Amino acid sequence: MNAADTTTHHDVRAKGFDVFPMSFLILTPVIGVAGTVLYTIFHGFHLWMLLLAVAMYLAVGLSVTAGYHRFFSHKSYEASRAVQVFYAIFGAMAAQNSILWWSSSHRIHHQYVDRDWDPYSIKRGFWWAHILWIFYRSDAPDVTSNATDLLKNPIVRWQDRWYRFILIAAGFGLPTLIGAMFGDPLAGLLWGGFLRLVVIHHTTFFVNSLAHYVGKPTYNAEVSARDNWGVALLTLGEGYHSFHHRFPADFRNGVRWFDWDPAKWFIATLCAMGLASDLRATAPPQILRARLDAELRVVEPRLTTAPVAAAENVRRLIAEASTHLDAAFVLWRQHAEERARSASNAWRDTRRKARQHVHEARWRWRHARSIAACSVEAVEAGS
């Protein structure tokens, strides 16, 4: 057990309000929403305003999701220096602190999720996790204990030193300059600066709050993280939070091809362009194993009320599914080794066999879940 686990957490609320971030987070929505609406009503709307806000949202949002989060915090892939500079500049424009501070705090969140040392633990309430935790003074994260890799990165150190300047000059100066090109610098500042900032803030905050509050614990029923497609839609793919907390080193959050995850598509595009490499992806048998284990925590208690024959049948199918997954694990490792050695096309056949075992495991699990559900329903209907 880590020594920190046995230490009583010092409630940051005892340290009082941190006036600057609290004032900033209260005033920016007033300016960004009310100010933008009123200015647009009196001065007119033009399409470039909306396009500017969307373009800035995408550039800044991807710098947080694909950059701050998946690259710097979790090292789920390797990125070129040019990409890292892009993340450093546009990520600073999100006004969520520097890469070093953000990543260190996020690593603490993963290490102590739902416990006292989690800085934005959902156990303290929805609004605490969403925004209130920022309102209070707290100790800066000890970057020397969990972010030594980032301290070695000159781009991270540069951004940490110049973070506030980049935020002001780029975050507010750039949209103002673009607005000036269209003859309305204030509209540029409001739409591309303040309104965009408010959207970025609260969509990001939803990952800490809503994605730990509403949804399905698809891959890990032991923590509060939930898969929430609505949050994924708002955050460029960050809403598949149960998967992310189970497999944080995976460059994807939405693991299925149709899951809305623009960040994973952006990273894959960078890879295709030679600007990213070594994309880390969890093996399908491991993903299915996690999903079945999470569902088993729900199914197993229900078997106590099911007829004996049905319960035995369900357990048999679960055991068979487990056997197929074990075989799939072995074959998937073999396929990876064969592919690394470029051993002709043998790896393709090995991968096909592994996928077949995964398919068999999935089929048996679905059948077991169906039997369990029907048996329990029959018992409840007869009682």
Kindly report, residue by residue over 251-277, the tens digit of the pLDDT: 999 999 899 999 999 999 999 999 999
Neighbours of 316 (CB within 10 A): 12
Do 314 and 190 belong to one domain? no
Do 323 and 260 belong to one domain? no
Vertex 204 angle, CA 91 and 287, to 5°: 100
Residue written as token pair 């103002």 = 176
Please name the helix (run of DSSP H) or strand (run of DSSP E) that holds residue 353, with its range, or none. helix 346-382
For the full predicted model, state whether its pTM sits above 0.85: yes
Do 288 and 266 belong to one domain? no
Do 316 and 174 belong to one domain? no
Do 254 and 311 belong to one domain? no
Reported as a single tens digit per residue, the pLDDT across 90-126 is: 999 999 999 999 999 999 999 999 988 888 999 999 9
Task: Retrieve residue 7's tokens.
Answer: 């230490």
Q: What is the largest CA-CA distance in the chain?
A: 77
Do 81 and 170 belong to one domain? yes
Average pLDDT over residues 222-237: 94
Among 246, 277, 308, the domain boundary falls at 277
CA pair distance 72, 150, nearest whole angstrom: 7
Query: What is the per-residue DSSP string for 164-190?
Result: HHHIIIIIIHHHHHHHHHTT-HHHHII
Do 299 and 248 belong to one domain? no
Neighbours of 297 (CB within 10 A): 12
Strand partners, 240: 227
What separation, in Å, do the N-terminal and C-terminal C-alpha atoms of the chain show? 46
pLDDT band at 52 (very low <50, low <70, confident <90, very high): very high
Give me Rg for the CA atoms of the chain: 24
Do 327 and 268 belong to one domain? no
Do 139 and 256 belong to one domain? yes
Report helix, strand or coil for 293. Answer: helix
Among 277, 304, 322, the domain boundary falls at 277
Task: Give pLDDT, residue 113.
Answer: 92
Among 277, 304, 337, the domain boundary falls at 277
Reported as a single tens digit per residue, the pLDDT across 282-334 is: 988 889 889 888 888 877 777 777 678 877 888 888 888 888 888 888 888 88
Do 90 and 215 belong to one domain? yes
Do 137 and 246 belong to one domain? yes
Q: Report the domain count for the chain.
A: 2
Range of the domain at 373: 284-382
Report helix, strand or coil for 90. Answer: helix
Do 226 and 92 belong to one domain? yes
